[in-house]
A = this chain, B = another copy of it.
């Protein structure tokens, strides 16, 4: 084992430090965020920081740097109040990655990257037709993280469009069966293979493996 100290990190070139530090948190979620401004200009951006905030109310968050290449996304969200989160799967991860290029404001990344915008009725922001799990989100709050000039975007789930077979009896969604990918660092894309679902942990009782062959849900 090698120990990298603060000074070792400080001595790295910027891109090397970015590669290194982006791997530290472990595997990251792979999502593209769809928005539309008031002139019907669409925007799509890959984001690896979408994070679960709570299930009641159903809240998701993500981290954004207001002055970065993804600023159009944040501007559209603040303008319209809504956005979509779309899980990235193996069949379109290259196109999803391509959305991180610096396109100008009047270019739709859907069009530039070969992805298809679709709409849930009455919802202003486009979702990605190629995605097997799409979420309509309503902005709740933009919380500034002042120490590094980023922000946590907090939103509430308004709707979820997903292949029903993936939703199990207990509510668990088999996102692996949807081909959803995980990201490492800035640019690593990974398939997954489930090792186990584990039972709710209790003191003095060993965890058991749950049966993963549950039937699909009939809500």
Contact = CB atoms under 8 A, between A and B. Distances in A.
Contact of A145 (B4, B17, B27, B154): B154
Contacts of A3: 120, 159-161
Interface in A25-57: 25-31, 48-57
Contact of A207 (B2, B94, B184, B200): B94
A112 B203 contact: yes
Contact of A19 (B133, B171, B206): B171
A216 to B, nearest CB: 10
Interface string A10-29: 00101111111111111111
B182 A17 contact: no
- Assembly stoichiometry (copies): 2
Contact of A52 (B12, B48, B207): B48
A108 to B, nearest CB: 12
Interface string A133-173: 10100001101010110101010011111111001101111
Contacts of A203: 101-103, 107, 112
Contact of A6 (B9, B54, B159): B159
Interface string A165-208: 00110111111100011101111111111111111111101110
Pick the 8 closest A-B CB pairs, nearest first: A26-B29, A19-B171, A16-B171, A21-B55, A23-B173, A190-B192, A27-B182, A20-B171
Interface of A: 1-6, 8-9, 12, 14-31, 48-61, 63, 65, 85, 87-88, 90, 93-94, 97-103, 107, 112, 120, 133, 135, 140-141, 143, 145, 147-148, 150, 152, 154, 157-164, 167-168, 170-176, 180-182, 184-203, 205-207, 210, 219
Contacts of A180: 26-27
Contact of A201 (B59, B99, B107, B168): B99
Given A24-B60, A54-B148, A60-B24, A173 B185 contact: yes
